[in-house]
Amino acid sequence: KQMKSSSRREGKTFRDFQQLRFGNHTKQEDFLAEMSRLERKLSNESVVWPTLFLLGAAKAASSTFHDLLNQHWQLCTARSSNSGQTAKEVGILFATKIKVFLLSLYGKAPGGHDERCKELAQSRSAPFWYMDNHPIYLHGFEHKMKTMIPANLHPQLRFLIVLREPVARAISQFNHQRAADCAWWCEHGPLDAAHFSDGFNASADFVARSLYAPDLERWFQAFDRRQFLVLNTR
């Protein structure tokens, strides 16, 4: 009876979620209140949690690795429940209502939105993993990972870190930012290795994100080093 009652509650929660996504909320405060209500109703077991995290670094080909991994038959990524399109940089650690966010982009446990993982969950023929990828996770998000992901999942987590030659990575990030936000960055010319030191008076952030050792040490203190695979792109 308890199992049936729990199942009915979860089913109603998911129907409520569909109304939340597609309903017509005229006031933002009503929408936020509904989000909070659904967050309280959802259990950790009712939603899909990613257990493979691509931590960055930024401008080190992490997006390319994400696309390659997504072709593996046991690896699944977030998909919009509306369009079905793959979501590249999910960023669950930025979510304020994490279970509602997971339900939106990963789906209902055990199989989630992705058809491959749905099939594996139903057949129980092989394990599967959902991925989350965000290029700035490497830079100071180990504490959020530890507190926002349920503790019982911590041993299952796997972390892929993609690094790049530090100067080349910093130059690439600077030029990318300059192209994306010209109003602020176009007073600086594009950088290359010969003029590396000229462009970094504007922000120390580009240099800090290329200092990999402190970030790696913090992650290795938060989780077992055997849970990490560090790759160097050339």
Q: Which two tokens stand for residue 152?
A: 């019982």
Q: Which two tokens stand for residue 111?
A: 């199989």
Confidence of residue 5 (pLDDT cuts 50, 70, 90): very low
pLDDT tens-digit series, residues 145-199: 999 999 999 999 999 999 999 988 988 888 887 777 765 556 655 665 555 555 5
Taking Cα atoms as reference points, which of 142, 143, 116 lies closest to residue 130? Answer: 116
Q: Pick left, alpha or beta for residue 56 (phi over 0 → left; psi -120 to 50 → alpha; otherwise beta).
A: left
> Which pTM value belongs to this model?
0.80
Question: Scanning the structure block, which residue is given the tokens 């670094």?
Answer: 57
